[in-house]
Structure 1
Amino acid sequence: MMKVGLLPAPAAPLSPYWAAYLRELGLTPEAPALSDAEALALGAQSLPGEAPTVQLALGRVLALDRVDAAVLPEWPAVRGDAWGEALTELLPRRISGLPTLLPVPERVQDLTELETQAAGLGLRVAQNPGGVRLALERVRPLAQPRAVELPLLTRASRATVAVIGPRPLLMEEVLAGGLRPALEALGLHPVFSYEVPYPEARRRAERLEGFGQMPAGERELFGAASLLAGKGAVAGLLLVSPARDGATRAALGRLAAGLHKPALLLDLDAGEREWPELEAFRDRLTLGARGRDTAPASPRAPGGAE
């Protein structure tokens, strides 16, 4: 039986499913032996020119102690996002000596397809068909998405700002942990795109021009932004991209071009705690300034009030 690592993935709704599944197969999933900050530093040393999300993922792989394979939940990719589309293929090309990287779905799209992929993973790491069938039955309840309600959009004496960005960035404390406190210190009430119920974001994205050609990550970002921008309580939108991630930056630029409310594009690098441009943006929202930030032209994404 293989020795398997499972990377932490706060942004992946199915993380508890994969952890439980590996345990049901008789495995003890190995976790990285370093803290997130240490893993990030290790990844940044190895791939200094890449986005912090990529650096963190690599650092966590490098921090696994002598495993045969590492299970990584997939990322929701945007257009032109090579890392999001093929992280487990690109990392071994850039860094030698990595364990076998096994991608798994990060969200339920179809239970049958999920269990087909889970069965393939189980046979590869445990080589016990009977055990795989039993494990799939036992963890099936964990595949059901957890019900999530739309967060409160108002807070006394504060302007509400929707914070739109990829989950692998915004849900990692070591990467984006300083953003919420910075916004609150400016007297703003931030509502993050990952807090929006995914079914609602997807339904909203289905209304957008070009929906059929949008990759999964772009649908999620555009849907959450359109939904939140349509709420009267939301004064403006902060569109957050990982530093050195041109594909996500371009996707958010396309999104900004179709909004009818003030928007600010912000690159976020690991460890940042202060963003001078946020104060001016706060003033635009609280003093009633109008207009929008410059962004590349693109098909419009609905963002008017409902």
Structure 2
Amino acid sequence: MKVGLLESHAARSSAYWAALLKELGVEVAAPVLADGEALEIGRESLPGEALGVQLALGRILALGRVDAVLVPRLPAVNADAWGEAFTELLPRRISGLPTLIDVPDGGPELESAAAEVGLRLTQNGGTVRRALDRSRLLAGGPRADMPMLTRASRVTVAVIGPRALLAEPVLAGGLRPALEALGLHPVFSHDLPLADVLKRAERMENAEKAADGERELFGAASLLSGKSAVRGLLLAAPARDGAAGAALHRVAQRMHKPTLSMTVEAGQTEFPELEAFRDRVTLGQGQPAGEGA
């Protein structure tokens, strides 16, 4: 059996699943296209969908002929159909895809899901047990430290958005240099320690009922807005992703520092609205209002 792993810079468990597949002894497919080429294929196939969906589809197709693809489940926001059921919806839209296997991206259910996947792929309990033992050290995901919040002669702003956008250079790679060119020091939400973000999210109203992605966005925004060095928040949603945009709007309504809501298109390098936002946070003018309210 030939198996692919959907590569994603936003997923925290990719190293774990890659190690598990290797230990299981199955043939693992490698992508044959760069991310930019994969994105273009996804755009052609699903032109009206959000960037993250297009990129994921392109990466699946870039794996070539495989029997199955493991798809790490990224946190979804409210009313996010793709985020909640990606592996079910995609085969309905695109015919001829390999079997898509939804797997957790970390968390307490990771090892039990890995055992099920291992048995499904090998039907050998002994092989699965050995693979689980040898991969266990990677189950916790990458360690993240709090990023630097200050930089000489620059004003700090928080950049809040879905991991599926901000962590992907092919999608949001132009945002950091655009902010730095304006003399700002951006701190991105996906670089924060996830444990700290989720701890802060406990302050969210009805946090226990909120979708995972909602809690992650609110937790990151609340954590950074509580830092005195952070002068404002930029809320970035992927183009054509209405659910993410709505979630970030709800986050903005809870903030007490200047905010700017915007959408980001893949490969975008110019963001005209950033200059006025820079002036607001640099000069200390205004409160969250208008587009960012």
3-state secondary structure, aligned to 2:66: coil
- Comparing 2-11 with 229-238, greater Cα deviation is found at 2-11
In 2, Cα distance between equivalents of 1:37 and 1:146: 25
In 1, Cα distance between equivalents of 2:142 and 2:239: 31
Residue number among 273, 280, 287 corresponding to 2:276 in the alignment: 280
Displacement, 1:213? 1.3
Maintained 8 Å contact 1:256/1:293:
no
1:143-166 Cα distance to aligned partner (Å, 9 max, x none): 124432211111111110100001
Maintained 8 Å contact 1:254/1:295:
no
Displacement, 1:31? 2.1
Equivalent residue, structure 1, for 2:159:
163
In 2, Cα distance between equivalents of 1:128 and 1:247: 41
- Across the aligned residues of Structure 1 and Structure 2, the Cα RMSD in angstroms comes to 1.2
Maintained 8 Å contact 1:25/1:122:
yes
Equivalent residue, structure 1, for 2:253:
257
Equivalent residue, structure 2, for 1:124:
120
Residue number among 143, 164, 181 corresponding to 1:147 in the alignment: 143
Equivalent residue, structure 2, for 1:13:
12
Equivalent residue, structure 1, for 2:36:
37
In the alignment, structure 2 segments of 5+ residues that lack a partner are: none
Maintained 8 Å contact 1:36/1:174:
yes
In 2, Cα distance between equivalents of 1:97 and 1:236: 46
Q: TM-score, normalised by structure 2?
A: 0.97
Equivalent residue, structure 1, for 2:26:
27
Equivalent residue, structure 2, for 1:226:
222
Q: TM-score, normalised by structure 1?
A: 0.93
Does residue 175 (structure 1) correspond to residue 175 (structure 2)? The answer is: no
Equivalent residue, structure 2, for 1:95:
94
Displacement, 1:169? 0.7
Maintained 8 Å contact 2:232/2:281:
yes
In 1, Cα distance between equivalents of 2:189 and 2:27: 33
Maintained 8 Å contact 2:74/2:83:
yes
1:9-36 Cα distance to aligned partner (Å, 9 max, x none): 1111110000000000002321221110
Residue number among 247, 267, 270 corresponding to 1:271 in the alignment: 267
Where do residues 192-203 of structure 1 align in structure 2 (5 Å cutoff)? 192-203=188-199
In 1, Cα distance between equivalents of 2:172 and 2:40: 15
In 1, Cα distance between equivalents of 2:292 and 2:166: 23
1:75-127 Cα distance to aligned partner (Å, 9 max, x none): 100000011111111100000000000111112x21xx221110111111122
Maintained 8 Å contact 1:159/1:187:
yes
The letter of the residue matching 2:185 is H
Displacement, 1:296? 9.6
Does residue 240 (structure 1) correspond to residue 236 (structure 2)? The answer is: yes
Displacement, 1:233? 0.2
3-state secondary structure, aligned to 1:39: helix
Displacement, 1:295? 6.3
Maintained 8 Å contact 2:71/2:101:
yes
Maintained 8 Å contact 1:69/1:101:
yes
3-state secondary structure, aligned to 2:27: coil
3-state secondary structure, aligned to 2:240: coil
1:251-300 Cα distance to aligned partner (Å, 9 max, x none): 00001011100000010111111010001100101111121133699xxx
Maintained 8 Å contact 2:189/2:221:
yes
Q: Number of aligned residue pairs: give it.
A: 293
The letter of the residue matching 1:273 is T
1:192-214 Cα distance to aligned partner (Å, 9 max, x none): 00111111111111011121111
Maintained 8 Å contact 1:229/1:237:
yes
Maintained 8 Å contact 2:261/2:292:
no
Quick one: percent identity of the two aligned structures? 63
Equivalent residue, structure 2, for 1:304:
none
In 2, Cα distance between equivalents of 1:31 and 1:81: 29
In 1, Cα distance between equivalents of 2:142 and 2:73: 19
Residue number among 91, 110, 116 corresponding to 1:114 in the alignment: 110
Maintained 8 Å contact 1:163/1:193:
yes
In 2, Cα distance between equivalents of 1:274 and 1:219: 30
Equivalent residue, structure 2, for 1:74:
73
Equivalent residue, structure 1, for 2:103:
104
